[in-house]
């Protein structure tokens, strides 16, 4: 689709200064996020009519109908001057508003993302459920795209993605990749998943496990011999397990715990930080690999034990979020204040930061600075 001239100029300016996101809200100037810090693009607030005109330049007739009916619309747009963007249009105080995310033109490789090496290994699992979790804007979609691209470059498989909307676009290499957009190619995640098993996929990527039916069907797909990559909005491995179980009725939860214990292979929980110099972003990633002990804790409803098992599971590639944050601080990648603001246990992390020997341990044997 084409983008109107006024909105295109705004998008081009945001892209020029390296913004990751653009906000259009009546009553405030257009604002951008650069390295997770918000700033206005100008001093003049948008009027309601201004915001409406800018947003209208993004919409097709079908999207206008969806917006009026649901009061929300998710879609993607692309233009040679600004690349590809993921768009959410919604209403606030009766006026339309938009949140626009710029999507890189190419799928990023692992080397530039500073992710734990074990994620590359997880991408080549033959079956099971791998969850990439974190808050909004934590890089979940980028991590899953990098994992799929690694599969695509190295292995001949059939990959199907379910996205709302499609973000990164893939070019077939050794694999065949089908990308299905919810709302355009299929009415919903659960409906698409029910039919996917008849399309002979080896790998299924679910952009977001939003509801009971999507979770149930994803678990079944993982149980029946597919590798399923999916995302959730959770901030720890233990919380991820509980979130999935809590979606179901109490009478079903014991069965779901058993099913999850048998299918879940790993959880990676991401948090993004602005680097200390303010020029880039760096992730801290908690990784849980489902060992026999963790599977037993999931099955028996003892998820409170998982954090301790991750702490002692370094040999299996596991790491806690707070230990990763500690490492980033000790290497000078992020500030102490930023670390404490996003730690799972700020008081414990503060104590560790005040112990010089912890910084030496956190750096690791190589002393490498992983964000460089």
CATH code for the domain in which residue 21 is found: 3.30.450.90
- Please check whether residues 184 and 298 belong to one and the same domain: yes
The secondary element (H helix, E strand) that includes residue 88 is strand 83-92
- Please check whether residues 79 and 96 belong to one and the same domain: yes
In a domain, residue 277? The reply is yes
d(C-alpha 125, C-alpha 135), whole Å: 25
Domain range for residue 71? 5-103
- Please check whether residues 277 and 131 belong to one and the same domain: yes
- Please check whether residues 23 and 89 belong to one and the same domain: yes
In a domain, residue 357? The reply is no
The count of structural domains within the chain is 2
- Please check whether residues 121 and 248 belong to one and the same domain: yes
- Please check whether residues 187 and 60 belong to one and the same domain: no
- Please check whether residues 177 and 160 belong to one and the same domain: yes
Average pLDDT for residues 184-190, to the nearest whole number?
90
Residue whose pair of structure tokens reads 């997770």 in the numeric block? 36
Q: Lowest-pLDDT range, 266-270, 339-343, 354-358, 367-371? A: 367-371
d(C-alpha 337, C-alpha 156), whole Å: 45
Phi, psi of 291 (to 5 degrees): -80, 175
**266 to each of 127, 285, 287, 367, how far by Cα in Å?**
12, 12, 7, 27
- Does residue 273 contact residue 338 with C-beta atoms inside 8 Å? yes
In a domain, residue 331? The reply is no
The CATH number of the domain holding residue 229 is: 3.40.50.300
Give the residue from 58, 82, 103 where a domain finishes.
Answer: 103
d(C-alpha 308, C-alpha 312), whole Å: 6
- Does residue 227 contact residue 144 with C-beta atoms inside 8 Å? no
Average pLDDT for residues 100-115, to the nearest whole number?
89
- Please check whether residues 125 and 92 belong to one and the same domain: no
- Please check whether residues 51 and 180 belong to one and the same domain: no
- Please check whether residues 189 and 228 belong to one and the same domain: yes
Tens-digit pLDDT profile for residues 69-99: 999 999 999 999 999 999 999 999 999 999 9
In a domain, residue 351? The reply is no
pLDDT higher than 50, residue 369: no
Confidence of residue 136 (pLDDT cuts 50, 70, 90): confident
pLDDT higher than 60, residue 359: no
Tens-digit pLDDT profile for residues 40-56: 999 999 999 999 999 99
Average pLDDT for residues 153-175, to the nearest whole number?
95
d(C-alpha 97, C-alpha 90), whole Å: 5
Q: How many CB atoms lie within 10 A of CB 239?
A: 19
In a domain, residue 368? The reply is no
- Does residue 266 contact residue 286 with C-beta atoms inside 8 Å? no
Give the residue from 298, 319, 340 where a domain finishes.
Answer: 319
pLDDT for the residue numbered 234: 94
- Please check whether residues 264 and 313 belong to one and the same domain: yes
Confidence of residue 109 (pLDDT cuts 50, 70, 90): confident
- Please check whether residues 218 and 304 belong to one and the same domain: yes
In a domain, residue 257? The reply is yes
DSSP line for 38-84: EEESSSSPPPHHHHHHHHHTT--HHHHHHHHHHSEEEEEEEETTTEE
| 117 Cβ contact list (under 8 Å, min separation 6) | 317
In this structure, what is the dihedral angle of CA atoms 329, 103, 14, 334, given to the nearest 10 degrees? 0
Confidence of residue 108 (pLDDT cuts 50, 70, 90): confident
In a domain, residue 282? The reply is yes
pLDDT for the residue numbered 356: 63
In a domain, residue 55? The reply is yes
Average pLDDT for residues 202-206, to the nearest whole number?
97
Give the residue from 103, 135, 168 where a domain finishes.
Answer: 103
- Does residue 131 contact residue 228 with C-beta atoms inside 8 Å? no
């Amino acid at each position: 689709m084409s983008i109107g001239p006024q909105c295109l100029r705004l998008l081009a300016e945001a892209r020029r200064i390296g913004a990751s996101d653009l906000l259009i809200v009546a009553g405030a100037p257009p604002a951008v996020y650069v390295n997770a810090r918000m700033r206005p693009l100008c001093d003049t607030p948008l009027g309601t009519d201004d915001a409406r005109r800018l947003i209208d330049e993004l919409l097709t007739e079908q999207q206008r109908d969806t917006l009026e009916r649901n009061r929300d619309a998710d879609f993607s747009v692309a233009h040679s001057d600004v690349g590809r963007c993921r768009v959410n249009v919604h209403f606030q105080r009766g006026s339309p508003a938009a949140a626009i995310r710029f999507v890189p033109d190419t799928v990023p490789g692992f080397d530039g993302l500073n992710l734990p090496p074990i994620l590359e290994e997880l991408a080549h699992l033959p079956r099971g459920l791998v969850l990439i979790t974190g808050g909004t804007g934590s890089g979940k979609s980028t991590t899953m795209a990098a994992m799929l691209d690694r599969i695509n470059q190295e292995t001949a498989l059939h990959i199907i993605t379910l996205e709302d909307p499609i973000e990164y676009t893939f070019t077939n290499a050794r694999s065949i990749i089908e990308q299905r957009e919810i709302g355009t190619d299929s009415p919903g995640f659960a409906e698409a998943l029910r039919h996917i098993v008849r399309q002979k996929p080896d790998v299924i990527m679910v952009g977001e496990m939003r509801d009971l039916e999507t979770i149930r069907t994803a678990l079944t797909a993982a149980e029946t011999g597919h590798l399923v990559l999916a995302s959730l909005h959770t901030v720890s491995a233990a919380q991820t397990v509980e979130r999935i179980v809590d979606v179901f009725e109490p009478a079903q939860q014991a069965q779901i715990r058993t099913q999850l214990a048998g299918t879940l292979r790993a959880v990676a929980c991401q948090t993004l930080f602005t680097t200390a110099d303010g020029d880039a972003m760096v992730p801290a990633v908690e990784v849980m690999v489902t060992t026999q002990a963790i599977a037993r804790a999931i099955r028996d409803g003892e998820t409170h034990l998982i954090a301790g098992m991750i702490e002692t599971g370094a040999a299996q590639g596991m790491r806690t979020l707070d230990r990763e944050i500690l490492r980033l601080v000790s290497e000078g990648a992020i500030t102490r204040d930023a670390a404490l603001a996003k730690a799972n246990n700020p008081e414990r992390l503060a104590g560790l930061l005040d112990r010089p020997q912890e910084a030496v341990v956190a750096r690791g044997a190589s002393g490498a600075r992983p964000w460089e």
